[in-house]
Structure 1
Amino acid sequence: MADNLSNTAENRALDFIMGLAATAPSTPLKVALVTANGSDTTAGTEVTGGSYARKNLTVAAAANGATSNSADLVWTGMPAVTVVGIEVWDNAGTPVRLWYGPLAEPRTVTAGDELRIPAAALTFSLS
């Protein structure tokens, strides 16, 4: 998901690198599923219904300018929906959207289905 940082995340990364901010996002980071993708400035349309809830994201230390999810992300009891992308949010009292991007292929699930994103399937890079 290169070049899919929200404008807010881009500003926070620059402030951190330039020594203007010493804090990281509130963790754990959360992965949200969306039925319509967002943009740099606008969040996508998040899935609702069923047993859907955002999932905690774990990643390995970055290497060569990239990292990926280090564990499977599994949503059970999904509503009937077509998921077209993901977003990554921090865990602040008022969550901040950091990353967004489309899935390589939309995933259609029926009510009660499971949706799984395997470990290493989400790659995050700064380029």
Structure 2
Amino acid sequence: MADALSNTAENRALDWLMGTSTTAPTLPLKVALVTANGSDSAAGTESTGGSYARKNLAVGASSSGATSNSADIVWTGMPAGTIVGVEIWDSAGTPIRWWYGALTTPRTLASGDECRFPAGALAVSLA
């Protein structure tokens, strides 16, 4: 997911780099699965049903403008549907969407299936 920051994330990153006041994301960050991808300004259509819920995201230290999930992210008991992308949200009372991106290969799931991103599979970069 190269350079797929939401408008909010772009503005906050630029504010931080320029030394103006900004607010960091409320941790933990959460990964959402989407059935229709969003854009810089609009969230995608999040999966619903089954036992689906956003999952915590743990990442390693960034290197060369990139990082990835440091632990497996696993959803069980998924609803039937096709997952086409992911979004990264914070845990604020009113969550903020920070990142979004399409999957290289969409994942079609049957009701009750597992959806898994092994450690290192969810890569995020600014490059």
TM-score by length of 1: 0.97
CA distance in 2, matches of 1:68, 1:25: 17
For residue 100 of structure 1, what is the aligned residue in structure 2? 100
TM-score by length of 2: 0.97
Q: Kindly tell me the number of residue pairs found equivalent between the two proteins.
A: 127
For residue 63 of structure 1, what is the aligned residue in structure 2? 63
CA distance in 1, matches of 2:124, 2:107: 20
CA distance in 1, matches of 2:122, 2:82: 18
Paired letter, 1:72: D
Paired letter, 2:49: G
For residue 87 of structure 1, what is the aligned residue in structure 2? 87
Unaligned runs of 5+ in 1: none
Distance apart, 1:16 and its partner CA: 1.2
Coordinate RMSD, CA, aligned: 0.9
* Structure 1 residues 28-67: aligned runs within 5 Å: 28-67=28-67
Matched, 1:117 2:122: no
Distance apart, 1:92 and its partner CA: 0.5
Give the ranges of 4+ consecutive aligned residues of structure 1 lying more than 6 Å apart after TM superposition.
Answer: none
Percent identity between the two aligned chains:
72
The answer on whether the counterparts of 2:12 and 2:23 sit within 8 Å (CA) in structure 1 is: no
CA distance in 1, matches of 2:21, 2:71: 29
- Offset from partner CA, 1:4-61 (integer Å, 9 cap, x none): 0001100011111111135420000000000000000000000000000000000001
